[in-house]
Chains A and B, each alone.
Chain A
Amino acid sequence: MWLTRPLRERSTQLFLGVLFAALAVVTLLHLTMPEDSPFYVSSFTVTLMGKYLCYALLAVAVDLVWGYLGILSLGHGAFFALGGYAMGMYLMRQIGDRGTYGDPILPDFMVFLNWQELPWFWHGFDMAWFAFLMVILAPGLLALVFGFLAFRSRVTGVYLSIITQALTFALMLAFFRNEMGFGGNNGLTDFRDLLGFNLRTDATRLGLFIASGIALAIGYLICRGIVTSKLGRVSVACRDAEARARFLGYRVERVQLFVFVVSAMIAGVAGALYVPQVGIINPSEFSPIFSIEIVVWVALGGRATLYGAVIGAILVNYAKTVFTGVMPDAWLFLLGGLFVLVTVFLPRGIAGLLASRRKKQDEPTDTDSDTGKEATA
């Protein structure tokens, strides 16, 4: 089966081995070490790492479209945020009458805005299965419609990047409006519990961390399964020579659409796991700068490697945590410098460095020079 085939690859085994070992070590240290021990992993750190894992999953989704399809999406934050909002709506409904205003149905912000009844799109979110379905369907549907229109009219390259950015910008403006019914500026917050587990307990936080790790593993397997399948080969062909692939009889736009939608769904799941861990979702997740930051994680880690995306996401976000704490002013300099240095001096990212050091040649197409399609586009 396509999903289990990657398990036989050495790189996948290595990746999953490291990931699960890390999950196990953190869990063990968190549970068994006394609090004053230097090896103790606090609940705060567990949540922080859970957040990184969600970002890593998002980066894998972006790498799937950018690395293997040649589509630089500057709007993947939108899919991430949509998944997050779907989860946030479920969590809002779970608050029930424990909110500040004590309304059993309406979330606090609606009571505050003097709304009398629930907007139609909020119905069903009190049921976990429906909400979890929407986590995947909402971003998937947006990607389907947007991708269908864009790929059918062969909007590619820079144009596509710019309109994906416009898309997430438009969504950000829309979600900032109170009238949209998503909490406006403040977004959704003050969550209580998820599937009956109190979100503020350490056990739930650890559970979410492990769930994020497993989601990352599954997301990685799905992406790896796709790129090693025939479909993946075709999508790389679309990346490197779109016109040639089309002339050979492949329906390029269908391949693009499929991969794009899958990637959006994975991003949605990442967003859904992210929201209960940070405890808030607001329109800033739609901001174009966040989407473009994701691309830099991937670029730093190494395009078209998947595991590189994970490395990049974790490294950049760890650096962000450290720097915004120690010297907040320096962070944007560092991030900006990273954009420039990586693109100019490290076009294949950290993964490229590792690969060239080990002279590993078993997947030449994946780590091939990226000048392919864009140069001719």
Chain B
Amino acid sequence: MSIIRSLTLLLFAIIMINPAFAQDQNTDSGRALLTNLAEAPASEVEDAIKSIVRSGDERARGWLEAYGANRLSRIKDTGQVVLVLNNRGRDWEIADPLTGENMGEMSRRELDRVAINNRIRGQLEGILAILDLNAADPDVREASARDLMGKVDAALVEPLQAQLETEENAAVRDRIQAALAIYRVGEGDLDAVDELSGSLHPRARAALSEAVRGDNPALAAKARQALAAIEQKLKLNSAAETLYFGLSMGSVLVLAAIGLAITFGVMGVINMAHGELIMLGAYTTWGMQQLLPGQPGLALILSIPAGFMVAATAGIIIERSVIQFLKGRPLETLLATFGISLILQQLVRTVISPQNRTVVTPEWMSGSLVINDALSLTLNRMYVLAFALIVFAGLMLIMRKTRLGLEVRAVTQNRNMARSMGIRATRVDILTFALGSGVAGLAGVALSQLTNVGPNLGQNYIIDSFMVVVFGGVGNLWGTLIAGLSLGTINQLLEPWAGAVLAKIIVLVFIILFIQKRPKGLFPQKGRAAEG
């Protein structure tokens, strides 16, 4: 115990002393290193840089970066080396490279730029990468090793091999080895081709294609083989990526359509304002984030119930004020709800803004899951996919396992009979419509993470949503799920060779033709309810 405590105290003391230490400029070794660099004649600059790198000084990276960017200067009078923070205008803003302390402005005539030639500048990138290879964070080390791929030259081989021996992290070792192998392939090493054959990194492929084109026939043959294997792997990866994007797009379609599957499919109400209910959900997310600035993640989570409630309330208002008077007249309902959609759109334009609003993506949702060099899956789409499946499962549960679901199904199958059995059909209508609208709100919350939140958000999804419901078979939630996911995937499969717009047209025409063949969709409802 006491040893640990005394060690901690010691460490604490060092940390406390350190700033004072750094301020004492005469004893700072960095000063000598920089002066050495500034004074070195062209032939010795390399050595001066190397000694900076070898010193292991934490500030070395900043110095070398500044050096490469022509921002290292010397004060003519004192010979002190300074960092130039701002070199626009006549007076330059400078700082002490040792402490980072701002030294105010100084006329540029009193400064002397530390010269750098292009050969050194070219090497600096590699040198900086080696510097990063010594960083404490293995992720930084791996990233810098990845940057080195294809940039290794004769001068770097030796330090890299030295690095390889001391490196403990396997991923970083692999990267360094690949970087070295790329260099060795360039030099005509046959064994190095084997090392690269599994790599998906574009630089590895570039090195191999170079070898194929090269004049060494044995190497070319081997490289061709390795390249073919890589191509195969890449194809697989790009297929996986297309599938992922397709499922992601499909999940968006499912989310947008599943609420409609309830109001249209189960209740038979054509709600053209469905898209605007989605829009309301998205705007709720935006509003939540405005209420809770700085906490986008919390706001997003709170938006899920809030978006549901807002859209469900709007749905109830629409149902009570308009739809209930148009029972049994689906075409009129279509027109009236379209009118409501126009009003809601204009309302958002007038009250909030006609411009798109930005919804912040919380940190834990941004970024992507890197599978390998050729395949990385964006996290936000993965969350939306999972969310769509959860919403779907939740709806399924409600429809199958709850009292409300039972009543909804009863009213759908035979309204009069259900009423005779004591089910309050009007109440069921309201609740069903609220449920469908609320799910639209949930879709809006999810969509706010993927697309722009603006007054036209809903309009873009309404036709697609109807297509999904009709394609899947009205009144069938499973049909909606399968139709949404498959339409999304088909669209993504078509996109590479047809382009986004044409792919969409092809899908629309496909659905139009499909409806002719099977007017009741993929999974038509069976039984008496179908004729009702």
Contact = CB atoms under 8 A, between A and B. Distances in A.
Contact of A163 (B341, B342, B515): B515
Contact of A340 (B329, B339, B519): B339
B236 interface: no
Given A370-B329, A374-B330, A339 B336 contact: yes
Interface string B62-81: 00000000000000000000
A342 B333 CA distance: 11
Contacts of B349: 329, 332
Query: Taking each of B336, B338, B466, which has the highest tally of chain A beta carbons within 10 Å of its own beta carbon?
Result: B338
A72, A170, A177, A339 interface centre (most CB from chain B within 10 Å): A339
B360 to A, nearest CB: 29
Contact of A176 (B466, B501, B511): B501
Contacts of B345: 332
Interface string A64-104: 00000000100000000000000000000000000000000
A339 B463 contact: no
B328 interface: yes
Nearest to A335: B342
B497 interface: no
Interface in A294-351: 295-296, 299, 329, 332-333, 335-340, 342-344, 347
B435 interface: no
Contacts of B338: 292, 339
Contacts of A340: 322, 336, 339-340, 343
A149 B516 contact: yes
A336 B515 contact: no
Contacts of A14: none
Contact of B519 (A153, A292, A343): A153
Contacts of A159: 470, 515, 519
B79 to A, nearest CB: 62
Nearest to A164: B512
A176 B334 CA distance: 27
B516 A150 contact: yes
Contacts of B508: 166-167, 169-170, 173
B512 A163 contact: yes
Interface in B292-348: 322, 325-326, 328-336, 338-343, 345-347
Contact of A161 (B329, B331, B347, B504): B331
Contacts of B512: 146, 163, 166-167, 170
Contacts of A158: 270, 330-331, 334
A152 B335 contact: no
B117 interface: no
A371 B329 contact: yes
Contacts of A163: 470, 511-512, 515
Given A295-B335, A344-B325, A165 B463 contact: yes
B529 interface: no
Contacts of A176: 501
B497 to A, nearest CB: 14
Interface residues of B, number: 42
A155 interface: yes
A29 interface: no
B509 interface: yes
Interface in B417-439: none
Contact of A336 (B333, B346, B502, B511): B346
Nearest to A166: B508
Contacts of A329: 346, 349-350
Interface in A190-207: none
Contacts of B516: 149-150, 152-153, 155
A368 to B, nearest CB: 14
B513 interface: yes
A375 interface: yes
Nearest to B344: A336
A211 interface: no
Given A155-B515, A158-B270, A337 B463 contact: no
Nearest to A158: B330
A42 B329 CA distance: 44
Nearest to B499: A177
A22 B491 CA distance: 52
Contact of B504 (A150, A173, A343, A370): A173
A165 B467 CA distance: 10
B517 interface: yes
A154 B332 CA distance: 21
B329 A375 contact: yes
Contact of A169 (B350, B463, B502): B463
B328 A339 contact: no
B291 interface: no
A162 interface: yes
B42 to A, nearest CB: 52
Given A336-B346, A344-B325, A157 B330 contact: yes
A271 to B, nearest CB: 21
Contacts of A152: 516
A344 B322 CA distance: 7
B266 to A, nearest CB: 14
B498 to A, nearest CB: 11
Contact of B326 (A153, A157, A338, A344): A344
Interface string A130-149: 00000000000000001001
Contacts of B511: 163, 166
A288 interface: yes
A343 B346 contact: no
Contacts of A19: none
A308 to B, nearest CB: 15
B343 A333 contact: yes
B463 A336 contact: no
A299 B338 CA distance: 13
Given A159-B515, A169-B508, A299 B346 contact: no
Given A177-B501, A374-B330, A162 B466 contact: yes
Contacts of B346: 329, 332-333, 336
A176 B505 CA distance: 11
A174 interface: yes
Given A336-B340, A344-B326, A177 B502 contact: yes
B335 A339 contact: yes
B519 A72 contact: no
Contacts of B333: 343
B377 to A, nearest CB: 29
Nearest to B517: A153
B524 to A, nearest CB: 12
B342 A371 contact: no
A279 B341 CA distance: 31
A170 B470 CA distance: 16
Nearest to A332: B346
Contacts of B343: 332-333, 336-337, 340
Interface string A248-261: 00000000000000
Contact of B505 (A153, A173, A374): A173
A177 B504 CA distance: 12
Closest 7 CB pairs of A and B: A339-B339, A336-B342, A336-B343, A332-B346, A170-B508, A336-B339, A343-B336
7 contacts: A150-B515, A155-B519, A329-B350, A332-B343, A343-B332, A370-B332, A374-B331
Interface of B: 270, 322, 325-326, 328-336, 338-343, 345-347, 349-350, 459, 463, 466-467, 470, 501-502, 504-505, 508-509, 511-513, 515-517, 519
Given A153-B517, A335-B342, 18 more contacts: A72-B331, A155-B516, A159-B470, A163-B511, A166-B512, A170-B505, A170-B509, A173-B505, A299-B335, A336-B341, A337-B339, A337-B343, A339-B335, A340-B322, A370-B329, A371-B329, A374-B329, A374-B331
